[in-house]
Amino acid sequence: MNSARRNLLFPFCRLQRPGVALSRPRFDAHLDRTWSLYRAKDPGANEDTYLDGLYALDWFVACACLDKDNGAWEALFASRTGRADCLLVDALRARAARLYPRDEERQEHAVAEFWGQLLVAEHGLATLARYDGQRPLVPWLIRVFQNAHVSRLRASSGIKSLPDDDVVLPLPEAEPSEARWHDEFVTAARDSLNDLSDADLLLLGLRLRYRLSQREAAQLLGVHEGTVSRQTDKLRDRTLESIRSRLADRGWTGDDLHGLVLKEMAGVLLDDPRLGADHLRALLAARGKALPSGE
């Protein structure tokens, strides 16, 4: 990997995170390791692309946590997330409360179990060891936590589980949102769809209406799975930001759209004719593609 950029990156991280003690040899070893993780997802990527997208300070803290550095763990525990500026552990508890409503014991167990799995895993890599630094660490951890439990809920209902880094699909039994914001949210969500390109609509339709995995969507579209992952992330973030902005213009003062998204978003998307089966088939046909037999 580019030695000049390494030489600049190491002192930058140490200056910005003076309480985190990661030695230069361990820094280099982790950089090689996470570059390998990234390259496995996208073999066509180059080192400069990886470094350009690296969330260096988040990556630095995660790597030092893997090396069991106390300063890194203190930084992670003190991390804050979202517009509500709440601690990471509080954000995890909030997700657990939505996943397991009225079951405080299960909520606490879910959060405690997740912290334990950051460094230890029964199968495969520990959670932090899967982080390649290409996304902000705290939202990524919350996403992995939620997806793991979404998969458990889906499995208990006989539905195929989600990969750990997959998109979060709407959950059943979401807590009801304030009734007065129902119509406003639906309107904002529908408006946000007007900004999507045909490529965005096709990806969204394949992932939501046909429930294709990232790998299945990538194979159908003839692109790399990492490309689908990045496009999905950008699509999700852009859509949610559009909805937040539209709701703010209408007087929304809430910090968390999670409940509204879980309760309303799937219905809005599936009701939109541009995400209907006929239109999606037409979009695929325009690319010389077709859904697999039986879809």
pLDDT in tens, 45-72: 888 889 988 999 999 999 999 999 999 9
Alpha carbons 146 and 152: distance in angstroms, whole number: 10
Question: Which among 156, 190, 217 is the end of a domain?
Answer: 156
Q: How many CB atoms lie within 10 A of CB 55?
A: 17
By percentage, how much of the chain surpasses pLDDT 90? 21
pLDDT computed for residue 175 by the predictor:
39
pLDDT computed for residue 41 by the predictor:
85
**68/86 same-domain check:** no
**Tokens (6 digits) for 100:** 């397991």
Q: Comparing 292 with 24, which gets the higher pLDDT? A: 24
In a domain, 173, yes or no: no
In a domain, 162, yes or no: no
Q: Please name the helix (run of DSSP H) or strand (run of DSSP E) that holds residue 83, with its range, or none.
A: none
Q: How many domains does the chain have?
A: 3
pLDDT computed for residue 56 by the predictor:
93
pLDDT computed for residue 124 by the predictor:
63
pLDDT computed for residue 166 by the predictor:
41
Q: At what angle do helices 137-156 and 88-99 cross, to 10 degrees?
A: 20
The domain of 126 spans: 79-156
In a domain, 96, yes or no: yes
- The string of pLDDT tens digits covering residues 106-116 is 888 888 888 88
pLDDT computed for residue 85 by the predictor:
55
In a domain, 293, yes or no: no
The count of C-alpha atoms lying within 13 angstroms of the C-alpha of 143, restricted to the half-sphere facing its C-beta, is 21
Question: Which among 156, 187, 218 is the end of a domain?
Answer: 156
In a domain, 86, yes or no: yes
| 242: pLDDT strictly greater than 50 | yes
Model pTM? 0.54
**Tokens (6 digits) for 199:** 């490529």
**62/92 same-domain check:** no
Q: What is the mean pLDDT of residues 17-43?
A: 92
Q: What is the mean pLDDT of residues 40-49?
A: 86
Q: Comparing 82 with 259, which gets the higher pLDDT? A: 259
**130/52 same-domain check:** no
Q: Comparing 295 with 27, which gets the higher pLDDT? A: 27
Whole-number average pLDDT of the chain: 80
pLDDT computed for residue 48 by the predictor:
86
Buried b / exposed e over 279-292, threshold 16 CB at 10 Å, is bbeebbeeeeeeee
Q: Comparing 278 with 294, which gets the higher pLDDT? A: 278
In a domain, 165, yes or no: no
The count of C-alpha atoms lying within 13 angstroms of the C-alpha of 34, restricted to the half-sphere facing its C-beta, is 26
Least confident span in 17-31, 70-84, 175-189:
175-189
**83/71 same-domain check:** no
pLDDT computed for residue 1 by the predictor:
60
Q: Report which of 197, 200, 201, 190 is spatially closest to residue 279, judged by C-alpha positions.
A: 201
Question: Which among 51, 75, 99 is the end of a domain?
Answer: 75
